[in-house]
Structure 1
Amino acid sequence: MLDTFHEVAIYLHRFHNLDLFQQGWYQIKISMKWEDGDGTYVGIPSRVVQYEAPKMGSDDSYGVWRIDDSDNSFSTQPFKIRYARQDVPLSVMIAFNVSLSNREVQLDCSIQAHRSHLPCLNYQVPAKSGVIIKFELIYSPLLEKGSELQAILSTSAAAVHEFRIPPKALLGLHSYCPVLFDAFHSALVDISIHISLLKTVAQTFQKKLPSNSFTVENIDGKFPDKSTKGFGKVVKEVLLVKSLLTARDILLEEAQKLGRAIDQTIDFTEFISQLDDTKLFGSLLQADVSSTSSDGKRPEFDDSQKSKEKESLFLDFRSNGALQSLSRDSLLHFAHTIGNQNHYLWNTFLNFHRANKTKIMEYLRESWANDRRIEWSIWMVHSKVEMPHHFISSRGDEVSLHGGLRGKVSVLRKLADDPAQTAATRAELHRRSIAQMKINSRSIQDLQIFGDPSSVPVVIVERVINAPRRSSSGNSYFGQAIQRAPSTLLTELSSASIVSGANHLQNGRVLKIVIFVHGFQGHHLDLRLVRNQWLLIDPKVEFLMSEANEDKTSGDFREMGNRLAKEVVSFVKKKMDKVSRSGGLRSIKLSFVGHSIGNVIIRTALADSIMEPYLRFLHTYVSVSGPHLGYLYSSNSLFNSGLWLLKKLKSTQCIHQLTLTDDPDLQNTFFFKLCQQKTLENFKNIILLSSPQDGYVPYHSARIELCPASSSDFSKRGKVFLEMLNNCLDQIRSPSVEHRVFMRCDVNFNMSSHGKNLNTFIGRAAHIEFLETDIFAKLIMWSFPDLLQ
């Protein structure tokens, strides 16, 4: 008998406080269990290695790490969190042993096929079930200390995050694993997980070859009959040898790959030179043949038959048929030898990891980010469309729309269906296909996403390919600002902000700033979940959660835009001066994220004269359900009634402006004039997030596209709308940026958990879902990280 176990080594690099709302004592608790088990925690902590002494003050830590035998869990040393974006280095590795000795798992399907005539039987074989790793965030208020602190920490879990290690990964894995808790406990634990299949070290095995040892007589790949003595055991040992061989190969290959990636190669030359599985197999097979008596137990072969038999087995000694040709003792000897090799490789890797932990973590994190783009594409549907050359500009004009459709009749036919309903139906069909999908990957699965794949938002990404612009005016000060010499603009910003000299500019820092702007009656932290994802992708970014219009979103957009512009200019100048004092400023990348009418405030601020010198630094614009074309064609009657009440009872100026009722002449309204301003022209990347379930913002307005109602409206209102649309698209089509990325992303939430209530009926639930869930942000932002950096 040869006992094996999976060793799951979890390296905790650091705890990073993104946005914990409460100061206090925190610690991380880790435990694991079989996915199909009875809930018993089966991972047993076997060793703890503290790579470095914690770099915390005496008041910032308490006690030591702890192992609890009652649930086989490991808990880190409690540490104190005082402020946002605080780093706590942990530098500890905990190894869990997940034993297979008591597992009863179904035989592999390929093996079942060899004995399909037999009833379904269970044997003790390497796991075919996944393992669940549970991370708990334990919290205690700052007031508690001593024995009271320990008592509270041991019983109070503030948040939980679980991951699934699929069966494939249990044979070997090296992966980054970011542990992020919930929206109210936004903290990141940087973790890497390393797994291998090992044999019990204490076991020794001396090969014995008695004359009556059991040998499988069938060497043609078939299993012996069920009645044959030792049938179940030889099957288990064959699978065990194959699993150990696979684990060894993965461990060797991944260790070499990691070494090359961080330019610290592990020298396995001597080990590989002594590695000859075929020779080992041949010697065991020869010993079995020599020790088998000729009394009928095994048929006699002449030399030519023996030669052919051995040759066929050596072609693939890992096949079931070849391994079955060995006696049980030889199989165990084979497994014992491979197990020793695994131990050598595993211990070599752990020493290598300890010496290069930071570089390995950085490489695994980069690999994880690249892999997520592929893995999370399950929930994303990609397409490309061409930017239309022009829309109707007057009642009698012709139109060219999406591929050259001509005439108003074609447009009406094209837009006969409700685009929002069509998009929702398309997303629902994709969601149903996900529910039928069997996900069978080797990657660690985040159960916040993979726990219920059908509940994850479906994102339909439409990448718009630019076309030549319809017209060019170049009369506004925006166009003139782009044509001015860079040195003039830089001088205007601050004489000391951008350092002079080519060498300093080349070596200086690129200052990346993101401004987040809330919506109607919103809070400055409304977009914190999107901000947190941005910070995870680019930790060096500076951000401003705008407070200039908090509790002031009912007035004139011009006033709100001016307040935001002043706030942004003050913030940018402060950051520029700080960077200049610390070594030099090479350039600036200024990005904006807005929710709902926050997008209107952003565009109004960009039209303010004090923002003119900064327009050339605009980088990425993320619009989250923004009414860019106002509410001229809003089909939500209940929401329209609410807008009417706000205008009548509270005289809310911004609502008049949104509905283009702030002036009797539509061409003199705020929104019409805003669309004439070049507020989008200077962004290098424009991402419009919309949702067909959002009843608070017209679908076409959030996507800046034609709507069915406007295409059949030949009144002045229809003409004004189309002119607003053309003006916005002309800015995006403008050649002011050489390679502009323009994407429309439809986010379709699973609203089943909300039930049927007023919020879902009027479309408010989806509008707020953008602020209360970050899964859609993960999918989009990690799929296009180059647009954010």
Structure 2
Amino acid sequence: MMLRRLKFLIGADPKASSPLALPAPESKCLDGDSSSLVPEALHEIAVYIHRFHNLDLFQQGWYQLKVSMRWEGSDEVAPGFPARVVQYEAPDSVLEDTAAVWKINDADHSFCTRPFRIKYARQDVLLSVMVSFNLSVRMTERFLTSPVLLKFELLYAPTHSDMNEVQYNLDNFPASVHEIRVPPKALLGLHSYCPLHFDTLHMVLVDMSVHVVLLKAASSVSSQNFLSECQANSYSEFQSVTAQAIRNGESGVDSMDIALWKTLCASRDTLLNELHSLSRAIDKKIDELDDTEDTSIQLVAKKLDGKKTEAWGFKNGMIMEMKSRLEESAIVLRTVSEPENWPYKTKGGQSSELSRIEMLEGLQSLGSQLSSIWNAFLRFHRKYRIPIMEYLHKVWAEDRNMEWSLWLVHSEMDIPQHNSNNEVVEENGWAIQAARKTPMRKSHEDPAVAAASRADLHRKGIEQMKINSTYLQDLQIYGKIALVPIISVEHHTVQCQKLSKVKEDTRFGFTGSLEQEGVSITPMTSRGKLPPKLADQGTGRSGRVLKVVVFVHGFQGHHLDLRLVRNQWLLIDPGAQCLMSEANEDRTTCDFRELGQRLAEEVATFLKNKFISGSRSATYESFKLSFVGHSIGNIIIRSALTDAAMKPYLNNLYTFLSISGPHLGYLYSTNTLFNSGLWLFKKLKGSPCMHQLTFTDEAELQNSFLFKLSEEKTFEHFQNLILVSSPQDRYVPYHSARIERCQAATRDLKKGPAYTTMLKKCLDQILLPDTNDRTFIRCDVNFDTSSQARTLNNLIGRAAHIEFLETDIFARFIMWSFAQLFI
């Protein structure tokens, strides 16, 4: 039986010890055997699990998600307890011969979604379930000072197992574990989209949102009855508790009572602000809130601070604006953790203006009001879950830059400018100094060495930081922040410019008469529009945009080498059509012309099939064609663009993501071990592409393949160009991957001028004004290698080259920071 909606409370033995396993607070005792009244609160953390999307699971089978929650840093503290579960949509399928429902494990206080079967890639499973956990906490311990960990386990069972084996495997063998940290500053209130991806071997997308609120629990008179009193929220029990305090002469207000009051008010105002923000964002009215303030709340607020009476409640039905959540959290944290900052204290640490019974009544009313608002929020979220999820996802995506800025160092690219120096060769605004006049630079000024040194200094600074933001923290990144790659980003935008003296220039893709001021240029084929032959294949119905991304592996690579980058692209743009090129698999020792031709034919065939299949349902109005290459795969891409099969699509090229590509060859490689191996490989295998990379394919450098390729118009067709390199990657020369000047070339009078000319021709294309702005980015990735053993891969510089294929954190940072270039 599948329940549509179920709410329940986890019971507990009143004789059991406190779930926090904390000692009784230092305060007066009641009748000598129990502690005085202690302010208490609880965090309720609601996790909405909307959808499970199979992005890249290699194994078919039964899967299940397990969720648990605990305080970080202490195994003695009891975990969070599931408080309620809501199945807000009926599941789309059930497990054969079993009760396919969610369940609670009382042994470890965890929640499991229903089991579901994954059969194919890009499969969606709608889970549509909300589970909330309660974490009880006293004001004297762990209050807004310790983070909370959300633990997600991906459980797996093979498809061929019988039902008993399936359930046994799901219960006992997690395939992957992923933890999310809720930092202390977020415990006052948090409402965030939270994607879950697990690991590179179990790459999925679990669409979730996490919502945190601080609520009022019942006041306790005994540490042994802590849990039962937390659940005793009825007014009659509240009266008995307060009466006991009065009988024992506790009429003054303790500073911890005031601290609890302030935090509950901050929690309520944060929740109301979020609720109204969501209401405005999705344009849906909230009509379930009572905008009347309880008299006991007004009384406490007035006596504590008469000037702030209105700030605790409503004004004309709308919540008063307050300081940002971060600032408010900092105030509360400082108040709780530093007793000397507790306000309203008289001798003995108590307030003489407010009685204890008034404070307890105010706290009870405030807690009830906060609980009512929280329940209204949960109902509002379930009612409008789709637009709310879309809004939270948009906010989350916009915040990626700020959240990950710790590991990204941004700067403007230093572009050489035209000058009148007689020792400079000038062309198209580029200034390249003659080789014989360039002064020798010291070894420590080598660009690769300088880049690595800057990254190491930045990493040492990060190691000393304590991060306590209001964002949810993915422990794959925040677990060991010093191990995360440091990325230096140099950004440049080539502005679109009007040209005044153009009759016909195929480089720019337009024709027209001589232009005067105010006269625009008429495109031959507007960028992004379909070539005529393909446009005629449509049916005439509403148009769509086809976005195709081609991934090309490197030397002796596999077509799935770039799957981690592909997965990040699909997370940014789920509608992208991906081609993992297989045309040159096991054949990468051939001539680059042959490799490029095979890739061009493969891409052309893929595009034609997409247009034909798409025309059956709707016309493709336009399309964007992007490429991602690793190592020599980037040379293969550029070679393919010169093939006749790619000519119809050149005006549709969008983004080129080059990962460690030897665009300028290996002419000035400084890796002696690698160079020796390369020489031996050429001798034994006679690989044409290796001769082309080292410029030994022709007697004259100007006749070599790479020099001729630099004269072909390849880079200029792309609207966005991103060059990813690493100073630690000694398999590909640093300057070659970045397409920049090389110090050795400036000292080489024989081959240096030809190399400089080749460099200039490439940069001229990149910086050539287009009909649209062109984005040019260089990204230096510095991996942490301190934990890696001294292997042969490290010695020859191959480790960083392969790291690009085995980790996706660098791609995640770069691609989400410039998400507009990948959609």
The match for 2:355 is 327
Deviation string, structure 1 residues 738-784 (Cα, Å, up to 9, x no partner)? 30000000010001121222111111010000000000011111111
Instruction: Give the drift of 1:475.
Output: 13
The code of the aligned residue for 1:266 comes to: I
The code of the aligned residue for 1:171 comes to: L
Deviation string, structure 1 residues 95-133 (Cα, Å, up to 9, x no partner)? 1111115xxx7xxxxxxxxxxxxxxxxx34634111111
Question: How far apart, in 1, do the equivalents of 2:98 and 2:802 lie?
Answer: 38
Instruction: Give the drift of 1:199.
Output: 2.5
Change (3 A) 1:569 1:476: farther
Change (3 A) 1:388 1:127: closer
The match for 1:372 is 400
Secondary structure at 1:33's aligned position in 2? strand
The code of the aligned residue for 1:247 comes to: S
The match for 2:300 is 281
The match for 1:494 is 534
Question: How far apart, in 1, do the equivalents of 2:505 and 2:805 lie?
Answer: 35
The match for 1:227 is none
The match for 2:640 is 605
From 335, 354, 365, the counterpart of 2:382: 354
The match for 1:42 is 79
The match for 1:69 is 106
The match for 1:770 is 804
Deviation larger for 188-197 or 236-245? 236-245
The match for 2:262 is 242
The match for 1:646 is 681
Instruction: Give the drift of 1:64.
Output: 2.0
Instruction: Give the drift of 1:63.
Output: 3.0
Partners of 1:21 and 1:184 within 8 A in 2: yes
The match for 1:697 is 732
The match for 1:782 is 816
TM-align CA RMSD:
3.2
- Do structure 1's residue 199 and structure 2's residue 238 form an aligned pair? no
Secondary structure at 1:271's aligned position in 2? coil
Secondary structure at 2:187's aligned position in 1? helix
Instruction: Give the drift of 1:464.
Output: 2.7
Instruction: Give the drift of 1:353.
Output: 1.1
Question: How far apart, in 1, do the equivalents of 2:746 and 2:146 lie?
Answer: 57
Deviation string, structure 1 residues 674-731 (Cα, Å, up to 9, x no partner)? 111001111010000000000110000000000100011111x111111110110011
The match for 2:630 is 595
- Do structure 1's residue 520 and structure 2's residue 537 form an aligned pair? no
Question: How far apart, in 1, do the equivalents of 2:385 and 2:685 lie?
Answer: 61
The match for 1:185 is 202
Instruction: Give the drift of 1:312.
Output: 7.8
The match for 1:137 is 154
Secondary structure at 1:139's aligned position in 2? strand
Deviation string, structure 1 residues 560-606 (Cα, Å, up to 9, x no partner)? 10000001011111112222222221111110000000000000000
Secondary structure at 2:107's aligned position in 1? coil
Question: How far apart, in 1, do the equivalents of 2:294 and 2:746 lie?
Answer: 74
- Do structure 1's residue 739 and structure 2's residue 773 form an aligned pair? yes
Change (3 A) 1:344 1:364: same
Change (3 A) 1:392 1:690: farther
The match for 1:296 is none
Residues 42-441 of structure 1: pairs in structure 2 closer than 5 A: 42-56=79-93, 59=96, 63-101=100-138, 123-124=140-141, 126-200=143-217, 202-203=232-233, 204=235, 205-206=238-239, 213-216=249-252, 234-267=254-287, 271-274=290-293, 279-281=298-300, 320-322=342-344, 324-325=350-351, 326-389=354-417, 397-398=424-425, 411-412=438-439, 417-441=445-469
The match for 1:108 is none
The match for 2:475 is 447
Secondary structure at 1:601's aligned position in 2? helix
The code of the aligned residue for 1:668 comes to: N
Secondary structure at 1:753's aligned position in 2? coil
Deviation string, structure 1 residues 307-357 (Cα, Å, up to 9, x no partner)? xxx868979999943485223332222211110111110110111111111
Instruction: Give the drift of 1:410.
Output: 7.3
Secondary structure at 1:744's aligned position in 2? strand
Change (3 A) 1:480 1:430: closer
The code of the aligned residue for 2:454 comes to: R
Partners of 1:693 and 1:763 within 8 A in 2: yes
Question: How far apart, in 2, do the equivalents of 1:97 and 1:415 lie?
Answer: 62
Deviation string, structure 1 residues 349-383 (Cα, Å, up to 9, x no partner)? 11111111111111111111111111101100010
Secondary structure at 1:333's aligned position in 2? helix
The code of the aligned residue for 2:135 comes to: V
Question: How far apart, in 2, do the equivalents of 1:435 and 1:143 lie?
Answer: 47
Instruction: Give the drift of 1:36.
Output: 2.0
Unaligned segments of structure 1, at least 5 residues: 106-122, 217-232, 286-309
Partners of 2:487 and 2:781 within 8 A in 1: yes
TM-score by length of 1: 0.85
Secondary structure at 1:100's aligned position in 2? strand
Question: How far apart, in 1, do the equivalents of 2:658 and 2:646 lie?
Answer: 19
The code of the aligned residue for 2:537 comes to: S
The code of the aligned residue for 1:376 comes to: W
Partners of 2:213 and 2:267 within 8 A in 1: yes
Question: How far apart, in 2, do the equivalents of 1:786 and 1:492 lie?
Answer: 27
Question: How far apart, in 2, do the equivalents of 1:476 and 1:438 lie?
Answer: 59
Change (3 A) 1:738 1:410: farther
Partners of 1:387 and 1:402 within 8 A in 2: no
- Do structure 1's residue 684 and structure 2's residue 684 form an aligned pair? no
Question: How far apart, in 1, do the equivalents of 2:479 and 2:738 lie?
Answer: 31
- Do structure 1's residue 616 and structure 2's residue 644 form an aligned pair? no
Question: How far apart, in 1, do the equivalents of 2:112 and 2:158 lie?
Answer: 18
The match for 2:787 is 753
- In the alignment of these two chains, the number of paired residues is 720
Question: How far apart, in 2, do the equivalents of 1:314 and 1:486 lie?
Answer: 66
Unaligned segments of structure 2, at least 5 residues: 1-36, 218-230, 313-331, 336-341, 512-522
Change (3 A) 1:648 1:259: same
Secondary structure at 1:600's aligned position in 2? helix
- Do structure 1's residue 726 and structure 2's residue 763 form an aligned pair? no
The code of the aligned residue for 2:681 comes to: L
Deviation string, structure 1 residues 392-444 (Cα, Å, up to 9, x no partner)? 99x97557999989776874356862110000001111111111112120111
The code of the aligned residue for 1:613 comes to: P
Secondary structure at 2:156's aligned position in 1? strand
Partners of 2:665 and 2:736 within 8 A in 1: yes
Instruction: Give the drift of 1:526.
Output: 0.5
Change (3 A) 1:533 1:693: same
Secondary structure at 2:64's aligned position in 1? strand
The match for 2:488 is 460
Deviation larger for 5-14 or 733-742? 733-742
Partners of 1:663 and 1:669 within 8 A in 2: yes
Deviation larger for 171-180 or 314-323? 314-323
Change (3 A) 1:392 1:550: farther
Deviation string, structure 1 residues 442-465 (Cα, Å, up to 9, x no partner)? 111110001111110000000135
The match for 2:60 is 23
The match for 2:50 is 13
Change (3 A) 1:126 1:531: same
Change (3 A) 1:82 1:392: farther
Change (3 A) 1:573 1:277: farther
Residues 540-689 of structure 1: pairs in structure 2 closer than 5 A: 540-689=575-724
Change (3 A) 1:175 1:350: same
Question: How far apart, in 1, do the equivalents of 2:500 and 2:781 lie?
Answer: 33
Change (3 A) 1:282 1:547: closer
Change (3 A) 1:467 1:47: closer
The code of the aligned residue for 1:426 comes to: R
Change (3 A) 1:681 1:527: same
Partners of 1:7 and 1:96 within 8 A in 2: yes
